[in-house]
A = this chain, B = another copy of it.
Amino acid sequence: MKALDNLTNEELISLQNDLEKELNVFKELSLKLDMSRGKPCKEQLDLSMDLLSVLDKHSNLICKDGTDCRNYGVLGGIEEAKELLASFMENKIENILIYGNSSLNVMYTMIMQAWVFGIMGNTPWSKLNEVKFLCPVPGYDRHFAICEEFGIKMINIPLYEYGPDMDMIEEYISNDESVKGIWCVPKYSNPDGYTYSDETVKRFARLKPKAKDFRIFWDNAYTVHHLYEEREKHDHIIEILGECEKVGNPDIVYKFASTSKICFPGSGIASLAASINNINDIKKHFKIQTIGYDKVNQLRHVYYFKNLLGIKSKMIEQAKIIRPKFELVLNKLDKELSNISCIRWTKPKGGYFISFYAMNGTAKEIVSKCAELGVKLTDAGASYPYHNDPDDSNIRIAPTYPSIEELEIALNVFTTCVKYVTVKKILNK
């Protein structure tokens, strides 16, 4: 196929007709496929079935420090769980708090505590006229939903392959005291799959915010979620809390992680890493908010993974299942769409998504066209604050959940829809 840009009007019209016929063929298949969800597939879940019986082998559930995990007590997590998560997060045990099954819930809790009680003696955000968060875009829709729930004004920051626009971030936070936070998915970002460069992380650690209670919300959701086994194909990132400590700025970051997508999503353990000052501030509310989190489940994960090596070897098994899916999507896109210059997509080495950038002003129509044909994609704009992609260009592709066969058909539909909507757009210009 000739590059779309070089086609004459007549050639474009003829192509449109051909594509319309292809779409009609898909329509008759009555498909029901889903590429919208960043969910593991069944085969990935099957990898962790031993997690369910790992406690059977133990005659009691007593921790190293004598705590009976079956009973009440212990806030902030059992030592063994802190050790496991600390190794995985590259932090010290004293900087770790263990929570329940959802790191999103931990992030929500941090915003709520800042909102109602204030951070480290600062004015509660609820008492301020305006609270703003910086949002590298595209980003994680559920981060933005939390801001929307609290009425926190979101400001888009462009995200590049090496991280967000640091000049813009420095400008905002050093001048505007109402800027209280920034959402970051620093490694294999959602949805682009980008990893912040060393320079980016170093500039984050050295931020000098006007607001004393400014916090970086560092959601390291995909820290061990590599697509390839070989270490040289992994993205690497500087550990942020250590870097912040090094430059005398330890309190500026809340770091989040969880075992979701390592074993069972939604049934794992989540954790927060932060400076001792922050940990002490958070603990004051912790003990009021809950009787503690599920220690039996913490011990279950400790016995199951044993150590960081256990986590890493599980991730190699996971990668074996999902890598072919990512490769299929990338190959398909390459084969079908590389001749359209106004279209691009990311080629991540980890994480859960491929980020597709359609011709400006066509993303919504592509997603709705796919839906008509039975292929569900994440809503266009979902990765932007207020669901508003100013370019109407980004589409988040989630390859993990469908089977290879389903993915192949879904990609046929998707690429045909992209071509059809793009040609239509060019013709209507």
Q: A37-B72, A294-B294, A297-B294 are in contact. Are A108 and B288 (CB under 8 A)?
A: yes
Q: How far is the CA of A68 from the CA of B41 in the complex (A)?
A: 10
Q: Which residues of B contact A112 (CB under 8 A)?
A: 112, 116
* Stretch from A163-171, A211-219, A262-270, A308-316 at the B interface: A262-270
What number of A residues sit within 8 Å (CB to CB) of B? 49
Are A108 and B290 interface neighbours, CB within 8 A? yes
Residue of A42, A52, A105, A149 with most chain B CB atoms under a 10 A cut-off: A52
A267 touches which one: B117, B148, B264, B297 (CB < 8 A)? B297
User: 0/1 per residue, A37-73, Cβ < 8 Å to B?
Assistant: 1011010010010001101100000000000111111
Are B55 and A42 interface neighbours, CB within 8 A? no
Question: At the interface, yes or no: A145 with Cβ under 8 Å from chain B?
Answer: yes
Q: How far is the CA of A39 from the CA of B105 in the complex (A)?
A: 27
Q: Which residues of B contact A71 (CB under 8 A)?
A: 39-40, 45, 264-266
A56 touches which one: B37, B45, B56, B68 (CB < 8 A)? B56
A290 touches which one: B68, B102, B117, B290 (CB < 8 A)? B102
Q: How far is the CA of A100 from the CA of B292 in the complex (A)?
A: 11
Question: At the interface, yes or no: A291 with Cβ under 8 Å from chain B?
Answer: yes
Nearest CB on B from A208, distance (A) = 30
Q: How far is the CA of A127 from the CA of B199 in the complex (A)?
A: 43
Question: At the interface, yes or no: A293 with Cβ under 8 Å from chain B?
Answer: yes
Count of this chain's copies in the oligomeric assembly: 2
A286-301 contacts to B (CB < 8 Å): 288-297
Q: How far is the CA of A39 from the CA of B67 in the complex (A)?
A: 13
Q: Which residues of B contact A149 (CB under 8 A)?
A: 117, 285, 288
Q: How far is the CA of A112 from the CA of B101 in the complex (A)?
A: 20
Q: How far is the CA of A148 from the CA of B265 in the complex (A)?
A: 35
Q: A150-B116, A285-B149 are in contact. Are A267 and B295 (CB under 8 A)?
A: yes
Q: Which residues of B contact A150 (CB under 8 A)?
A: 116
Question: At the interface, yes or no: A146 with Cβ under 8 Å from chain B?
Answer: yes
Are A266 and B289 interface neighbours, CB within 8 A? no
Are B101 and A70 interface neighbours, CB within 8 A? no
User: 0/1 per residue, A143-158, Cβ < 8 Å to B?
Assistant: 0011011100000000
Q: Which residues of B contact A142 (CB under 8 A)?
A: 288, 291
Closest to A145 in B: B288
Are A108 and B289 interface neighbours, CB within 8 A? yes
Question: At the interface, yes or no: A88 with Cβ under 8 Å from chain B?
Answer: no
Nearest CB on B from A241, distance (A) = 24
A295 touches which one: B42, B146, B266 (CB < 8 A)? B266
Are A264 and B126 interface neighbours, CB within 8 A? no
A293 touches which one: B101, B264, B290, B291 (CB < 8 A)? B101
Q: How far is the CA of A134 from the CA of B126 in the complex (A)?
A: 25
Are B296 and A264 interface neighbours, CB within 8 A? yes
A70 touches which one: B145, B267, B296 (CB < 8 A)? B267
Question: At the interface, yes or no: A304 with Cβ under 8 Å from chain B?
Answer: no
Are A72 and B291 interface neighbours, CB within 8 A? no
Q: A71-B265, A112-B112, A149-B285 are in contact. Are A291 and B40 (CB under 8 A)?
A: no
Q: Which residues of B contact A305 (CB under 8 A)?
A: none
Q: Which residues of B contact A228 (CB under 8 A)?
A: none
Q: How far is the CA of A145 from the CA of B286 in the complex (A)?
A: 12
Q: Which residues of A does B touch, CB under 8 Å?
A: 37, 39-40, 42, 45, 48, 52-53, 55-56, 68-73, 100-102, 104-105, 108, 112, 115-117, 126, 142, 145-146, 148-150, 260, 264-267, 285, 288-297
What are 30 A-B interface contacts by the 8 Å CB criterion?
A: A39-B71, A39-B72, A48-B70, A52-B296, A56-B56, A69-B267, A70-B267, A71-B264, A71-B265, A73-B266, A100-B101, A102-B290, A104-B290, A104-B291, A105-B290, A108-B288, A108-B289, A112-B112, A112-B116, A116-B126, A116-B150, A142-B291, A145-B288, A149-B285, A149-B288, A265-B291, A266-B294, A267-B295, A267-B297, A294-B297
